[in-house]
Structure 1
Amino acid sequence: MSETTDIDATIVAELIAVRDRAYAPYSRHPVGALVESESGRRYPGANVEVAHYKGLCAEASAIAAMASAGERQLRHVYVIGPGAHLCTPCGDCRQRIREFATPDTLIHVVDAQGRLLKRYRIEQLLPDAFGPENLPRQENPLR
């Protein structure tokens, strides 16, 4: 699903700011993400690399902040990389997004200046995905 509509200037500013705070000394590929929950609250995240190469992606960082705040449903995911090319979520992050997405969740990929390059639904990024419904239902003692 490709769109040419613009992204709200406030979201673009938040994306650029969080991307510019990324810790990417090894790849030199800073990425920022902003997730919007069903409540409308926004959670930013940046990639954080470490010397043994098991870093944290920007999308994972933002989703962790959302889940830590007690929210469980994504309305929008925005991803910004350092260049003019598509910087789509990696496979692990596609699965993380899938965990909290609905069929209506939109994933927006923007260029370094925040111009929309492409918009997806999770089914396009991760077709026939494995999700919670594929696991046997168990009572969660923490809920």
Structure 2
Amino acid sequence: MTSTDLMEAARTVRENAHAPYSNFKVGAAIRGKSGKVYVGCNVENVAYPQGTCAEAGAIAAMVAAGETEIAEIAVIAGSPEPVSCCGGCRQKIAEFAAGDVVVSMGTTGGNTMTATVAELLPGAFDQSYMGGSK
């Protein structure tokens, strides 16, 4: 599957988003290190902010399948400009992706941009902070 196909997988799953409050549907597709693709869409909840982001859903699907390493990500939304992942999702992505992993962001109208995980989350909090003194 090419990067274009990864974006198309995100576009397709976006249609399944549950966004009755914001009407802002987002789809995400992650390629694991194995090459398998995992998808997710945002799921809103009336008890805001208890919903789930598309990226988090795709990560959960990947982990549920037994994979823990992201090779590439695509995210798409119906916005005028490509939408970057929220801060929480940037941290979730950094848990499973190296800094040089490419994140492709797109719009349903065809605008795209790319960044690496490190560009999206410089100075990411990681497990190295968990060691150390009490």
TM-score w.r.t. length of structure 1: 0.85
The alignment of Structure 1 onto Structure 2 pairs a total of residues equal to 130
Measured in 2, the distance between the counterparts of 1:99 and 1:92 equals 11
Instruction: Please state if 1:30 is matched with 2:25.
Output: yes
Report which structure shows greater RCO (CA 8 Å, sep ≥6): 1
The amino acid across from 2:60 in the alignment is A
Pairwise CA distance, 1:7:
4.4
Q: 1:93 is matched with which residue: 89, 95, 98? A: 89
| Partner secondary structure for residue 79 of structure 1 | strand
Measured in 2, the distance between the counterparts of 1:27 and 1:41 equals 31
Measured in 1, the distance between the counterparts of 2:111 and 2:62 equals 23
Contact 1:75 1:104 in 2 (8 A): no
Q: 1:79 is matched with which residue: 67, 70, 75? A: 75
Structure 1's consecutive aligned runs of 4 or more residues displaced over 6 angstroms after TM superposition are none
Measured in 2, the distance between the counterparts of 1:51 and 1:38 equals 35
| Partner secondary structure for residue 67 of structure 1 | helix
Pairwise CA distance, 1:89:
0.4
Of Structure 1 and Structure 2, the greater strand share is in: 2
Aligned to 1:47: 42
The amino acid across from 1:82 in the alignment is G
The amino acid across from 2:37 in the alignment is R
RMSD: 1.7
TM-score w.r.t. length of structure 2: 0.90
Instruction: Please state if 1:111 is matched with 2:107.
Output: yes
5+ residue gaps, structure 2, are none
The amino acid across from 1:123 in the alignment is A
Identity within the alignment, %: 37
Map Cα deviations across residues 16-48 of structure 1 (whole Å, 9 max, x no partner). 210011000001000000001111000000000
Contact 2:6 2:30 in 1 (8 A): no
Pairwise CA distance, 1:86:
1.9
Measured in 2, the distance between the counterparts of 1:13 and 1:87 equals 16
5+ residue gaps, structure 1, are 1-5, 138-143
